[in-house]
């Protein structure tokens, strides 16, 4: 069956409600478009687990600050539709801003406190409220489903999981592994902004994470020491400017006194125009 592109909330809800009434399981992949193999992996995971797969493409203005790249965020709907179709999507929901926000400026926002205030939230203070607000709206449009998110945006995944739990939203949030280029760079739509020289430098984020994991594997339990190792790798690359490096509890995203249990290493750096983020997980003995 060929992919079906829908643009209205009413028609999308009706289609999914009809499918659920027939006993179908729904998988949902929210995106901002300009799709790549990372998005495709989410679609394939949704296809394996569910009877009907919907993906959405909506460049959400709420999660962009005034000085960010909303106006020129990359877009290619024809290419995106082909990729979604190839990777098992049945319904592609592509609403306009007016369809999503028919009353104009949004007066209701969803804020997930604490977990959204550090790391990405410290650098982009309005970002996660914009993400949580649009994702909660998309979940309300979709209805009960499994929703698939990549672990590259690890803090975003944590925010959405907490929002779903706090608000009893009937969506099962599924985290999927980071998809990388051959040289280790995490796939991202914003990688297209990199010049050839910057693209060559960008995998330094992955190398810094690998160095942090190696330090942990060799017995490091002090988060400050692990962060120092990661920072040194970024500082040695002249085209990368470190925003933050962190070794945190994987659930709370807080920095513990001693690294124990499930740990996540987080890193963000400016490489030319784009600000790149990445992360890696580790398990410490209890």
**Predicted model pTM:** 0.93
- Is residue 29 within 8 A of residue 57, CB to CB? The reply is no
Positive or negative: CA dihedral 136, 142, 148, 153:
negative
Candidate from 71-80, 84-93, 158-167, 198-207 with smallest mean pLDDT: 71-80
| pLDDT tens digit sequence for 230-252 | 999 999 999 999 999 999 999 99
Band (pLDDT 50/70/90 cuts) for residue 120 is very high
Q: How far apart are CA 41 and CA 151, in angstroms?
A: 12
pLDDT of residue 2: 83
Q: How far apart are CA 37 and CA 8, in angstroms?
A: 27
Q: How far apart are CA 227 and CA 89, in angstroms?
A: 40
H or E stretch including 156? helix 154-167
Residue from 98, 85, 89 nearest 58 by CA: 98
Candidate from 20-29, 47-56, 126-135, 171-180 with smallest mean pLDDT: 126-135
Task: Say whether 198 sits in a helix, a strand or coil.
Answer: helix
**Domains in the chain, CATH or no CATH each:** 4-176 (3.40.50.620), 189-281 (3.30.1300.10)
- Is residue 75 within 8 A of residue 59, CB to CB? The reply is yes
Residues in the chain: 286
Task: Say whether 134 sits in a helix, a strand or coil.
Answer: helix
pLDDT of residue 44: 98
Q: How far apart are CA 265 and CA 211, in angstroms?
A: 11
Q: How far apart are CA 274 and CA 280, in angstroms?
A: 20
Positive or negative: CA dihedral 48, 50, 51, 53:
negative
Give the residue numbers annotated as catalytic, written as ranges: 39
Q: How far apart are CA 129 and CA 93, in angstroms?
A: 22
Question: C-alpha angle 262/276/156, rounded to 5°?
Answer: 50
pLDDT of residue 190: 87
Band (pLDDT 50/70/90 cuts) for residue 32 is confident
- Is residue 121 within 8 A of residue 127, CB to CB? The reply is yes
The neighbour count for residue 7, using CB atoms within 10 Å, is 12
| pLDDT tens digit sequence for 159-218 | 999 999 999 999 999 999 999 999 999 999 889 999 999 999 999 999 999 999 999 999
- Is residue 55 within 8 A of residue 31, CB to CB? The reply is yes
């Amino acid at each position: 069956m060929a992919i079906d592109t829908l643009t209205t909330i009413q028609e999308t809800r009706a289609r999914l409600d009809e499918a659920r009434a027939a006993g179908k399981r729904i998988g949902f992949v929210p995106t901002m478009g300009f799709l790549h193999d990372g998005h495709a992996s989410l679609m394939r995971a949704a296809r394996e687990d569910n009877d009907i797969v919907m993906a959405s493409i909506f460049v959400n203005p709420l999660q962009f600050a005034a000085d960010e790249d909303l106006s020129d965020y990359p877009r290619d709907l024809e290419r995106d539709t082909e990729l979604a179709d190839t990777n098992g999507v049945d319904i592609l929901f592509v609403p306009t801003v007016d369809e999503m926000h028919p009353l104009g400026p949004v007066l209701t926002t969803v804020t997930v406190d604490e977990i959204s205030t550090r790391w990405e939230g410290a650098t982009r203070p309005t970002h996660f409220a914009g993400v949580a607000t649009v994702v909660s709206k998309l979940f309300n449009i979709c209805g009960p489903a499994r929703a698939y998110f990549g672990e590259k945006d690890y803090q975003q995944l944590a925010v959405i999981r907490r929002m779903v739990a706090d608000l009893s939203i009937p969506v099962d949030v599924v985290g999927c592994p980071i998809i990388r280029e051959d040289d280790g760079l995490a796939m991202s739509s914003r990688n297209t902004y990199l010049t050839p020289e910057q693209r060559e430098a960008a995998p330094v984020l992955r190398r810094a994470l690998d160095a942090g994991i190696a330090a942990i594997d060799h017995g490091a339990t002090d988060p400050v020491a692990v962060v120092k190792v990661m920072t040194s790798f970024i500082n040695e690359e002249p085209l990368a400017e470190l925003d933050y490096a962190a070794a945190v509890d994987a659930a709370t995203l807080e920095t513990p006194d001693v690294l124990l249990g499930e740990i996540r290493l987080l890193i963000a750096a400016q490489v030319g125009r784009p600000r790149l983020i990445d992360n890696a997980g580790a398990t410490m003995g209890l």
